[in-house]
């Protein structure tokens, strides 16, 4: 092994979308230092958005993934029936075999997996070949998101197969420890963003499209449409705000996937029932999120369950947009309440509304938060810091015997 330039195989099976884990991976590998200091390749699904983006970075890819039945199965918030368990186990075995063939050819020093199913395959192959297995944990292992059987399987596998687990918040780390995993194997690596892509834009494209005048407040919520992300809370805020006769518009940026499409339909029915069509807008994910965020007056983070991290908060802070976040999960690790943003109790309409009024009526305070928010991101949430954290963890696992079990 060349300890000056470790060979790292990243493992990510996601085939249809670029989720948070995939975006984090792409941005990390987009950092020139990562490709210079590490010898990287990725096991991923051919023809996937991830594979296409990696090709542009000239990062070598190896064909890996799951059959559709397992690939599209989400275990967050769900249990598995007996047939699903059997089929899932069989497909995991097949995928583990395919990954083993990739490892035999690539001969990586470390396997670094990015999603829950990949942790199991990468961990098994790493254990069989005597290599370290680093699990980049982008979820919170708790009853809020995973059934008891799923949590038990994860813990059993992690105890046996994971050399290190790297959750994206201290809250996520505490959840892993609470489930029984050894603290010494768990290292928090907060997310970061490429700051050069997050400069404030003077574009008014979104406002023009929605026919929103320059002086009218625009509140936004950005993220996948799913119940725990709180789009329904956001609409209740819009209804209360409008009923009070206050000027302002509300935009939900994102879309629902698969099983969450009925939830999106219910949101639109709420808008119609409360006659909010002129106040509330639904917009698909935007390619240049920095330009879109720059046109907001306030970014609302409305998650009703603990957020693993809260990436959209640092994105908004980076472009100088005041933020109000839910006081749960990893969010308080990003925001210092009253310094670079405001925190509200999850689900509290009254507290969110009070903060919204304060930011709209006191523009000087809002500007102070915007400036402080940018500084927080520059100081704590850069991509260079993420790379340094992973580089340190990789150095540690390569300089000591593989410890699992």
Please check whether residue 254 lies inside any domain of the structure. yes
Sign of CA dihedral 127, 129, 130, 135: negative
Residues 345 and 246 in one domain: yes
Specify whether 186 is located in the same domain as 231. Answer: no
Which pLDDT score, from 0 to 100, does residue 77 have? 47
Do 112 and 164 have their domain in common? yes
Q: Answer whether residue 22 is part of any domain.
A: yes
Q: Are residues 82 and 227 in the same domain?
A: no
Q: Domain check: are 206 and 133 in the same one?
A: no
In a domain, 245, yes or no: yes
Sign of the alpha-carbon torsion through 170, 140, 109, 62 = negative
Query: In degrees to the nearest 10, what's the CA dihedral of 404, 168, 77, 345?
Result: 140
Indicate the pTM of the whole model: 0.93
Assess if residue 205 is contained within a domain: yes
Residue 165, token pair as written in the block: 């687990």
Domain count, the chain: 2
Predicted pLDDT of residue 240: 98
Give the pLDDT of residue 372. 98
- d(Cα 93, Cα 87) in Å, to the nearest integer? 10
Residues 341 and 253 in one domain: yes
Q: Say if residue 71 is in the same domain as residue 128.
A: yes
Same domain, 20 and 147: yes
- Tokens representing 284 are 């698909």
Q: Look at residues 47, 296, 29, 330 and name the one whose alpha carbon lies nearest to residue 169.
A: 330
- Are 107 and 253 members of one domain? no
| Same domain assignment for residues 168 and 216 | no
Half-sphere exposure of 76 (CA within 13 A, CB side): 15
Q: What is the DSSP string of 289-306?
A: HHHHHHT-SEEE---SS-
**CB neighbour list of residue 71: distance below 8 Å, 6 or more residues apart:** 13, 14, 15, 45, 65
188 & 117 share domain: yes
User: Does residue 234 form part of some domain?
Assistant: yes
β-sheet with 7-12: strand ranges across? 61-63, 39-44, 7-12, 110-113, 133-137, 164-167
CATH number at residue 248: 3.40.50.2000
- The predicted structure's pLDDT at residue 2: 46
Burial (CB < 10 A; 0-12, 13-18, 19+), residue 74, is: exposed
Asked whether residue 42 is domain-assigned, the answer is yes
Which DSSP string do the residues of 330-399 spell out, in sequence order? TGGGT--BTTTBEEE-TT-HHHHHHHHHHHHH-HHHHHHHHHHHHHHHHHH-BHHHHHHHHHHHHHHHHS
In a domain, 1, yes or no: no
Residue whose C-alpha is closest to residue 61's, from 50, 71, 77, 76:
50
Structural domain span for residue 127: 7-192+383-398
One digit per residue, the tens of pLDDT, for the chain of length 405 reads 445 799 999 999 998 888 899 999 999 999 999 999 999 999 999 999 999 999 999 999 999 998 765 555 455 444 445 445 556 667 888 999 999 999 999 999 999 999 999 999 999 999 999 999 999 999 999 999 999 999 999 999 999 999 999 999 999 999 999 999 999 999 999 999 999 999 999 999 999 999 999 899 999 999 999 999 999 999 999 999 999 999 999 999 999 987 899 999 999 999 999 999 999 999 998 889 999 999 999 999 999 999 999 999 999 999 999 999 999 999 999 999 999 999 999 999 999 999 999 999 999 999 999 999 999 999 999 999 999 999 999 999 999 876 555
**Residue 376: inside a domain, yes or no?**
yes
Is the same domain home to 171 and 33? yes
Residue 174 neighbours by CB distance under 10 Å: 16
Residues 169, 138, 64: CA angle, nearest 5 degrees: 155
* Helix, strand, coil abundance in the chain, percent, nearest 5: 50, 15, 35
């Amino acid at each position: 092994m060349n300890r000056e330039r470790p060979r790292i195989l990243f493992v990510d099976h996601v085939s249809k979308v670029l989720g948070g884990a995939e975006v984090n991976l792409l941005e990390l590998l987009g950092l020139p230092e990562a490709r210079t200091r590490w010898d990287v390749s990725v096991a991923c699904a051919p023809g996937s958005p991830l594979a296409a983006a990696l090709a542009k970075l000239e990062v070598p890819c190896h064909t890996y993934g799951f059959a559709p039945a397992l690939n599209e199965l989400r275990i967050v918030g769900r249990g598995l029936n007996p047939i699903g368990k059997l089929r899932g186990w069989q497909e995991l075995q097949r995928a583990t075999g395919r990954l083993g063939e990739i490892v035999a050819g690539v001969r990586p020093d470390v396997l670094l997996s990015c999603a829950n199913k990949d942790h199991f395959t990468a961990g098994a192959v790493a254990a069989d070949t005597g290599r370290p297995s680093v699990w980049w944990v982008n979820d919170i292992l708790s009853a809020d998101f995973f059934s008891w059987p799923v949590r038990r399987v994860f813990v059993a596998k992690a105890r046996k197969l994971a050399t290190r687990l790297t959750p994206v918040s201290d809250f996520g780390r505490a959840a892993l420890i609470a489930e029984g995993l050894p603290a010494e194997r768990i290292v928090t690596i907060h997310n970061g963003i490429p700051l050069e892509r997050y400069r404030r834009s003077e574009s008014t494209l979104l406002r023009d499209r929605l026919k929103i005048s320059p002086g009218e407040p625009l509140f936004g919520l950005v993220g996948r449409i799913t119940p725990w992300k709180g789009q329904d809370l956001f609409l209740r805020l819009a209804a209360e705000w409008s009923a009070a006769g206050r000027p302002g518009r509300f935009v939900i940026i994102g879309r629902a996937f698969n099983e969450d499409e009925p939830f999106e339909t219910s949101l639109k029915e709420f808008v119609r029932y409360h006659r909010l069509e002129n106040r509330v807008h639904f917009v698909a994910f935007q390619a240049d999120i920095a330009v879109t965020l720059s046109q907001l007056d306030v970014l609302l983070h409305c998650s009703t369950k603990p957020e693993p991290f809260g990436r959209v908060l640092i994105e908004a802070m980076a472009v100088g947009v005041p933020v109000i976040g839910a006081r749960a999960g990893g969010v308080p690790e990003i925001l210092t309440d009253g310094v670079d943003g405001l925190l509200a109790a999850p689900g509290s309409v009254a507290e969110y509304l009070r903060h919204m009024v304060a930011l709209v009526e006191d523009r000087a305070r809002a500007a102070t938060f915007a400036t402080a928010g940018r500084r927080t991101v520059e100081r704590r949430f850069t991509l260079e810091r993420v790379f340094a954290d992973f580089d340190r963890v990789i150095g540690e696992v390569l300089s000591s015997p593989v410890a699992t079990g």
